[in-house]
Amino acid sequence: MHVILCDSAAEVAVAAADLVTRRVRRGPAVLGLATGGTPQPTYRELIRRHREKRLSFARATAFTLDEYVGLIPTDPRSYRATILRDFAAHVDLPLERLHTPQGGAPDPAAEAQRYEELIAAAGGVDLQILGIGTNGHIGFNEPGSSLSSRTTVRALTRQTRTDNSRFFGRDPVPRLCITQGLGTISRAQEVVLLAVGRGKARAVRDMVEGPVSARCPASVLQFHPRTTVLLEQEAASQLE
């Protein structure tokens, strides 16, 4: 794990965008995209580079990490709608190569398996962008998830549903999701994990300095040969 301390969230975004830019400029790339709040400034920076510096995603393919079970793509809170709004609709990524698990699929377990196979058929993910939950989750692999799991249906913890209620207003946050597994994420050639804010400090400490344990799912990245962790100061504040 290569841990880089940045002065600000803006610096995290530029550093992450630099890594994505380098990979995309090298040739056809399979990108793994996180949703949620943390990567939004990175996506804004990539959109800026697309507009001002001709950074092209025309030869890229993208897979998002997860989706809420029961939310269809036109639901603005779905991760399909989110990644379109935050990133994909603003660059030249061909939308037929933007893949997200289908939250409205009648058989979510079969959909999870289809998604896992789709990632494998694309040759796996070249560069995976990740955020981290306050409880140490990556994707929606909550504490206790198998470290070798494949894309699967999972229940969200109360903590995660509370953390994400800001995106749902008065509506309840779905209880189930389809998520790439920890084993799936670990197969990415390169991983870039971003963390910003004091709320992530404990999870970051457990991920970087704790034992590799399902109690902190992100700790599995200690085994990954090419993981860069980009931290803003508050997120790094509990590291020794």
* Active-site position among 45, 50, 137, 163: 137
Tell me the three state secondary structure of residue 96.
helix
Asked if 75 is an active-site residue, the reply is: no
For residue 32, the minimal CB distance to ligand F6R (Å) is 10
- Give me the residue whose beta carbon is nearest to ligand F6R: 131
Contact of 98 with 62, CB cutoff 8 Å: yes
Q: Whose Cβ is closer to ligand F6R: residue 27's or residue 70's?
A: 70
The residues that bridge with 117 in the sheet, in sequence order, are: none
Asked if 163 is an active-site residue, the reply is: no
The C-alpha angle 2, 138, 112, rounded to 5 degrees, equals 130
Residue from 32, 103, 131, 136 touching ligand F6R (CB under 6 A): that is 131
Binding status of residue 38 toward ligand F6R by CB under 6 A: yes
Question: What are φ and ψ of residue 182, in 5° steps?
Answer: -65, -35
Helix (H) or strand (E) holding 51: helix 40-53
Instruction: Provide DSSP, 54-65.
Output: ----TT-EEEES
Q: How far apart are the first and last CA of the chain?
A: 15
Residue from 30, 69, 81, 138 touching ligand F6R (CB under 6 A): that is 138
Asked if 137 is an active-site residue, the reply is: yes
Which range touches ligand F6R (CB under 6 A), out of 35-43, 46-54, 98-106, 142-150? Answer: 35-43
Residue from 43, 68, 87, 140 touching ligand F6R (CB under 6 A): that is 140
Residue from 24, 34, 185, 220 touching ligand F6R (CB under 6 A): that is 34
Closest C-alpha to 193, from 213, 219, 214, 167: 219
* Active-site position among 135, 141, 163, 164: 135
Binding status of residue 186 toward ligand F6R by CB under 6 A: no
Q: Is the dihedral of CA 204, 208, 12, 51 positive or negative?
A: negative
Cα separations in angstroms, 112 against 22, 78, 95, 167, 178: 30, 16, 20, 24, 6
For residue 150, the minimal CB distance to ligand F6R (Å) is 16
Residues 51-80 that bind ligand F6R (CB under 6 A): 65-66, 79
Asked if 141 is an active-site residue, the reply is: no
Binding status of residue 37 toward ligand F6R by CB under 6 A: yes
Using CB under 6 A, list all residues that contact ligand F6R: 34-38, 65-66, 79, 131-133, 137-140
